[in-house]
Structure 1
Amino acid sequence: MFNFNGSLLDDDTSFLNEKNRGVQLGDAVFEELRVLNGDIIFLEDHYLRLMSSMRILRMDIPMNFTMEFMEQEILKSISEGELKEAKQIKFTVFRNSSNDFSKSDNSISYFITHKTLADPFFILNDQAYEVELYKDFYKNSSMLSNLDTNNKIVNVVGAVYAQENDYRDCLLLNERKQVIESLNGNLFVVKGNQIKTAPVTDGCVNSILRKKLIDIVSKLNDFEFLEESISPFELQKADELFIVNNIEGIISVTKYRKKDFVNVTAKNLIGKLNAAARMSLTKSV
């Protein structure tokens, strides 16, 4: 089952048409969340980010589109028997079309899909994970690059390149050839007692887990946090590279070119990230 504008539909139900702007123009934005035992992890952060994304894209936000409404619609999408399972939620909002798909009154529709997660909380993926730079296409360092929109063609083609060359992931560059993120999440670079990630002004996705990890690292006495541009030349000099996303948690990069990496810092941070997730559930009760 999935939720389309408040109505629950069976999987594979046709509900879009040829004029849909999300399909025709990529005119859609989404938020990915985790639900555990009927509670949404970092709900307020995800809601505020979705509202901000919709405003940036000049979508009309309905008066009833409150955080409580978002929570209600997400939980309505999950059957009662599945509420005790860990769920990955994708909340997609798209601009409605007029008779001409290229025109709209800026009103919106939404749909919510979900799938079961194997792990209730965030995990550390420390399996073999080799990455390489993806240099065929670049992401622009603009505010639109900070959003999760349906325009993910660079990620799609980059993933094909990674598969063809037996890499687990690729690192994306902006037009200034600065490393901004991976195909699968935000990149963090560890060198000595410094932990660095790219600023949003360089064009990385401004994800909720990026924000949470920055909050955590900034409070650690043993590390200095830097939000600065990352040069490709820094990668092989780093002690550790790891990637974060809202679904998997933390992914340790094990190899980049001739450099093998450790994952000491990532192991230290995964517990703190899950503690923050539990705290968000406590506050929502």
Structure 2
Amino acid sequence: MINVNGKIVSSSELSIENNRGFLYGDSVFETIKVLDNKVLFLEDHYFRLMSSMRILRMEIPMDFTMEFFQEEILKLTNSIESTSNALRVRFSVYRDAEGKYLPISRKIGFIATIEVLNSSVYVLNSTDYEIELYKDFYITSHLLSTLKTNNRLINVTGSIFAEENGYQNCLLLNDAKNIVEALNGNIFIVKDKVVKTPPLSDGCVKGVMRKQIIELLQKNTDYVFEEGVVSPFELQKADELFITNVILGVQSITKYRKKEYTNTLAVDLVNKLNAKIRLM
């Protein structure tokens, strides 16, 4: 089932030849986990979506409140029968207007799709997970790069590169050749009890799970957390690397070239993350 502008339908019947999200990538989206009929990290998703829409100069309706956002998500999740209590929702907002590069209006439409997840709580994947740098294209260090828009060609081509070469993921670089993020999430690097992640100013997506993990790290007195530029040379000196996103939670990296990594902090973070969502 699909939620199209508040209506639950089996097919959107949207005209993609006139849809600005399809034609120009004039769209932003949130990937959301719903557990036991609760929208996890609701406020963070809502305020990031509002911020993204304002940055793109979309017209936000007065009734597009957090309560409305939550209601439309749950309207969709309650429309399907599933034995799983965990669901993935992609909530996309597009500028609903005619025009070429210049839209004739700023009004919006939205479409939300749903997918059943196999696991409810976050589980640390213990299988081999090897990465490589993706150097064919680079992320530009500016505000638009931090948004979740439909312009994800670097993620698509990077994913194809990873599959063709037997890697589970790749790390993306910015125009200064510094590490920005993984193909599907933010990156954290651990060395001698110091945990570092690239700053938003380097062009990484402003991840909702990134925010949760940073909050957990700032409460952990065993580690020092910092946001800072991450050079590719730091990867082979690191003790641990992991990727974060809302659906997977924390994904440990086991190997980069000849370097293999531990997952001590990742295990601890997954446990604390699950404890946090149980209280939501």
Q: Which residue of 2 aligns with 1:217?
A: 217
Q: Which residue of 1 aligns with 2:76?
A: 77
Task: State the one-letter code of the partner of 1:274.
Answer: N
Q: Which residue of 2 aligns with 1:31?
A: 30
Structure 2 residue runs without a partner (length 5+): none
Q: Which residue of 2 aligns with 1:235?
A: 235
Deviation at 1:145, TM superposition (A): 0.7
Deviation at 1:16, TM superposition (A): 2.6
Q: Which residue of 2 aligns with 1:186?
A: 186
2:277 partner SS: helix
Task: State the one-letter code of the partner of 1:94.
Answer: Y
Q: Which residue of 2 aligns with 1:65?
A: 64
Do 1:37 and 1:83's aligned partners in 2 also have CA atoms closer than 8 Å? no
Q: Which residue of 1 aligns with 2:264?
A: 264
Task: State the one-letter code of the partner of 1:138.
Answer: Y
Do 2:84 and 2:116's aligned partners in 1 also have CA atoms closer than 8 Å? no
CA RMSD of aligned residues (A): 1.4
TM-score, L = length of structure 2: 0.96
Q: Which residue of 1 aligns with 2:169?
A: 169
Aligned residues: 279
Do 1:19 and 1:99's aligned partners in 2 also have CA atoms closer than 8 Å? no
Do 1:86 and 1:118's aligned partners in 2 also have CA atoms closer than 8 Å? yes
CA deviation profile, 1:207-258 (whole Å, cap 9, x unmatched): 1100010011011110000100100000000001000011111111010001
Distance 1:230 1:96, change over 3 A: same
CA deviation profile, 1:128-182 (whole Å, cap 9, x unmatched): 1100000110000111111100000000011111111111100000000000111
Do 2:84 and 2:117's aligned partners in 1 also have CA atoms closer than 8 Å? no
- 2: distance between equivalents of 1:84 and 1:185? 24
Task: State the one-letter code of the partner of 1:142.
Answer: H
Distance 1:205 1:245, change over 3 A: same
- 2: distance between equivalents of 1:24 and 1:182? 26
1:216 partner SS: helix
CA deviation profile, 1:193-214 (whole Å, cap 9, x unmatched): 1111000000000111000100
Task: State the one-letter code of the partner of 2:92.
Answer: T
Q: What is the percentage of aligned positions where both structures have the same residue? A: 49
Please say which of residues 182-191 and 83-92 is displaced more in the overlay. 83-92
- 2: distance between equivalents of 1:135 and 1:54? 30
- 1: distance between equivalents of 2:266 and 2:22? 37
- 1: distance between equivalents of 2:181 and 2:203? 9
Q: Which residue of 1 aligns with 2:97?
A: 97
Q: Which residue of 2 aligns with 1:252?
A: 252
